[in-house]
Amino acid sequence: MRWLITALLICLTGSVAAQANLQVDFRWLMANHCNNNSPALKLKNIPPGTTVLRVQMIDLDNNKHDHGGGELVQAQGFPADFLITAGSLDKYKGPCPENFTTLGHEYQFNVSALDSNNKTLASGSAKAPFSAKFVILQGVIGNQ
């Protein structure tokens, strides 16, 4: 019985370890306000064999609004580090929170790396608030 439990634990931890953690980073710009041009997304740790990057943006303060995203496909695969350039997500709907000048909303980009059989190899996410104050402050901090 002990060997069965040990074998089960090894299988479970092995399957968890097999799915890598994808690093996602992005930066809001003032131009992203009420605009359907997606911001640039910097990705790191894309595993070998990734042929599809699936991106979805969600509003953490209003889950009833679908912000879409998009898919990027490269049959030859993606490098370990990849930049999804601004405006590349064809089904993306930009943030336009009603309280943009005060608190705004917090948004999250979820990215999945898939192989040619649609199996998830890695996933990751990044979130940040989107308000006029945050975007201005981010720019001030980022320029130093």
Cα separation, 86 vs 51, whole angstroms: 20
Q: Report pTM.
A: 0.80
**139 sits in which H/E element:** helix 132-142
Note down pLDDT in tens along the chain; length 144 residues. Answer: 444 333 433 343 333 344 569 999 999 998 898 999 999 999 999 999 999 999 999 999 998 888 999 999 999 999 999 999 999 999 999 998 888 877 889 999 999 999 999 999 999 999 999 988 878 777 655 544
Among the four given CATH numbers 3.20.20.370, 2.60.40.10, 2.120.10.30, 3.30.70.640, the one describing domain 21-142: 2.60.40.10
H helix or E strand, kind and range, residue 13: helix 2-18
Task: Kindly list the domain boundaries of the chain, sorted by start residue.
Answer: 21-142
